[in-house]
Structure 1
Amino acid sequence: MSQALEQLQARLARLEGEASVRRLMARYMDLCDVPRDSLALQSELAELFTEDAVWEGLGARAEQSFGRHQGREAVAAFVAGYLPPAEHFALNLHFIGSESIAVEEGGEKASGQWLMQQVSTYTDGRSELFGTRLNLDFRRVGEAWQISHFRTRRLLAMPLGALAEGKA
């Protein structure tokens, strides 16, 4: 009976970890979608990351565009730097799917992979469509899950006008 209880507790920890990671990703994407009226945006972003977090672009285009940022405050400042009041995006929408989340035994760490579609309109009026693969690592810190390593690899980038003109 104790072995069955241990197995049930381990399964519950995995399921709770997956649900927590899913909510964490939804919160991150929500904070990145604009317009947002929040003076506390950078602080809210920082709460989602571990103290030693890394956020990086992989592949030549993403490395060049995003670079690598380490530490909770550096990551939050980098991400917030793209969002209002910074004059970069006028509109930004993220859609994630093809989710795969794995919680390690013990329920303290997890990894996840998503395909992300991003529709962005810049303050200069241009609009683009992006397709990206996200690979993230997570850690449970106390009762909260946080992002410890965020990796993004751009798979597709095109002006939205190209879709309308049939040039995609």
Structure 2
Amino acid sequence: MVDQRERVRDTITRYLRLCDVPRADGERGELAELFTDDVVWEGVGTTYADKFGATRGRQAVVDMVGSYLPPNPHFESNVHILGQGTIEVNGASAAGCWLMQQISHYRTGERELMVARLEVDFLLTPRRALISHFRTQRLTEAALPG
């Protein structure tokens, strides 16, 4: 039997890979498969609460996340690096907390390294862990040389 923590790690890793740029167009269907129907994707903290607010529902979250991904001209390149983190399993649900580094090269020419805290709740199903509540809080950033 697959460990539930491993399912959680697989889901969060897949989510971040699908948010990396460059990536193949047409992966929104794969992105949608990672969320519950009533998922909430939320920016928290002073920077991200204002920037992102809260988005509710699978299709709305896929559309919001997709608005930053190709073919939309936001990132030239973007990569997510996830720290070890912690995962707590409680019956049919799990909660994870990670530090994530994001290295971005924007279409504007700017480059930055950003660190955020991810706190994510999951619904555990027999096949996979689905994201039910995704919270991201920007902790620090630094401009990178071009």
> Same fold judged by TM-score > 0.5?
yes
Structure 2: stretches of 5+ with no match in the other structure: none
Work out the CA distance in 2 between the residues paired with 1:143 and 1:33: 24
Work out the CA distance in 1 between the residues paired with 2:47 and 2:125: 33
Partner of 2:12: 25
Alpha-carbon deviations, 1:107-130, whole Å to 9, x = none? x10000000010000011110110
Deviation for aligned residue 1:86: 0.5
Partner of 1:35: 22
2:23 partner SS = coil
Structure 1: stretches of 5+ with no match in the other structure: 1-11
Partner of 1:147: 131
Deviation for aligned residue 1:59: 0.9
Higher helix share: 1
TM-score, normalising length: structure 2: 0.94
Partner of 2:94: 110
Work out the CA distance in 2 between the residues paired with 1:83 and 1:30: 12
TM-score, normalising length: structure 1: 0.82
Work out the CA distance in 1 between the residues paired with 2:49 and 2:76: 23
> 1 or 2 for the larger relative contact order (CA 8 Å, sep ≥6)?
2
What is the aligned-residue RMSD (CA, Å)?
Answer: 1.5
Work out the CA distance in 2 between the residues paired with 1:64 and 1:89: 21
2:85 partner SS = strand
Paired residues in the alignment total: 146
| Bigger radius of gyration | 1
